[in-house]
């Protein structure tokens, strides 16, 4: 599914079963593919079976794409306070969010 999603063909995701949305991550990837960031954000927030770093990265990406800069900044402060160790993926997203919010 990841391969079809990465080629940029809008219908390829549905051809490989993305429209069924039985698995939580498949459902989220479909929402991201369709750029329905509100649905992706809610699903990331509710889906506790995902690894914490995947959930956090997804929430951050959804907040960025929704243009919720202040909410993103507040969320990042909470995540930073909660987790002293950042994964490499979250560290990159954190720097990118700070750059976009002009927080040096």
Ordered by start, the domain boundaries in the chain are 51-104
Average pLDDT, the chain: 79
> What residues contact 54, with CB distance under 8 A and at least 6 apart?
25
The two three-digit tokens of residue 44, written as one number: 């990331």
- Give the HSE-up count for residue 94: Cα atoms under 13 Å, Cβ half-sphere: 17
d(CA 12, CA 5): 7
pLDDT at 19 over 80: no
Strongest mean pLDDT among 17-31, 36-50, 84-98:
36-50
pLDDT at 96 over 60: yes
How confident is the model at residue 8, as a pLDDT? 63
For 58-90, what is each residue's pLDDT tens digit? Answer: 998 999 899 888 888 888 888 877 776 666 767
pTM of structure: 0.71
Confidence of residue 38 (pLDDT cuts 50, 70, 90): very high
């Amino acid at each position: 599914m990841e391969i079809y999603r990465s080629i940029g063909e809008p219908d390829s995701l549905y051809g490989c079963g993305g429209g069924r949305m039985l698995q939580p991550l498949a459902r989220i990837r479909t929402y991201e593919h369709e750029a329905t960031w509100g649905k992706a954000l809610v699903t990331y927030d509710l889906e506790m079976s995902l690894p914490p770093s995947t959930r956090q990265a997804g929430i951050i990406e959804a907040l960025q794409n929704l243009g919720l800069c202040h909410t993103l900044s507040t969320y990042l402060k909470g995540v930073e306070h909660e987790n002293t160790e950042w994964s490499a993926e979250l560290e990159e997203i954190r720097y990118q969010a700070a750059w976009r919010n002009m927080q040096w």
